[in-house]
Amino acid sequence: MSAGHDAPEQSAGEHEPQRPARGGGVLAAVRETVLVVAVALVVSLVVKTFLLQAFYIPSQSMERTLDIGDRVVVSKLTPGPFALHRGDVVVFADPGGWLAATPEPQRSPLGAVAADVLTFVGLLPEDSDDHLIKRVIGLPGDHVVCCDAQGRTTVNDVAVDERAYLYPGAEPSLDEFDVTVPAGRLWVMGDNRAESADSRYNRQKEYDGFVPLDHVVGRAYAVVWPLPHAAWLGTPGAFDDVPGRTGVG
């Protein structure tokens, strides 16, 4: 007897594995995709709410540091767990009347809803329609003056060399000012001083040109788009010799 016939014959398909119905496989894939997308949206919303947020730069007030169209990432942990320092670049809500009204972008109803949702969860950058981005020059309690005999800004009677971040050829200020920053406020200016409607030019409005700390969204710490302009936005050393408090949380 041939060894090939030792086992009893089996009917066709008797031990073949059962294949799941095609419809069930598609449904499982759809459920998995929906779950993954939902988790990604929740994680993105949590990150945006508590940690990081992207913003779009709409104006030239921070050139040469930030150009129109740049996307920056803002850390919401500063001020807070991490201190805010002189020289940091911050995003803050309009304290009242600093920004002119801007027209809404033209979108289809579906496109508007999609853009709002993606912006809400943090997958699209904020349009910055009601936010500004400037550099912190004075912390609470600081005495900020411009200009000294050499045309420089002084903070607590120490001249600040701002050439590292000012727009090429820009003066520290074409208009003189002498202010003491109140408790819980900041004095901010743009790097492109001639094109920046900052603390200097909002003295007659609410908060007298100062920015309340609770209006600060966070510190801008990196340019992430476009890639050729990607850069780290560190704290410059121009204020290292300024006496007084070094930061505010």
> Are the beta carbons of 238 and 151 closer than 8 angstroms?
no
Q: Measuring CA to CA, how many Å separate 208 from each of 2, 141, 152? A: 103, 15, 22
Q: Pick the catalytic residue from 134, 173, 196, 199.
A: 134
DSSP state of 126: B
Please indicate whether residue 61 is annotated as part of the active site. Answer: yes
Query: H or E segment at 36?
Result: helix 22-50
Contacting residues for 68 by C-beta, under 8 A, at least 6 apart: 57, 58, 59, 60
Name which of 79, 75, 27 is nearest 51 in CA terms.
Answer: 75
Based on its alpha-carbon atoms, the radius of gyration of the chain, rounded to whole angstroms, reads: 28
> Are the beta carbons of 34 and 27 closer than 8 angstroms?
no
Query: H or E segment at 211?
Result: strand 211-212
Query: H or E segment at 50?
Result: helix 22-50
Catalytic residue positions, numbered: 61, 134
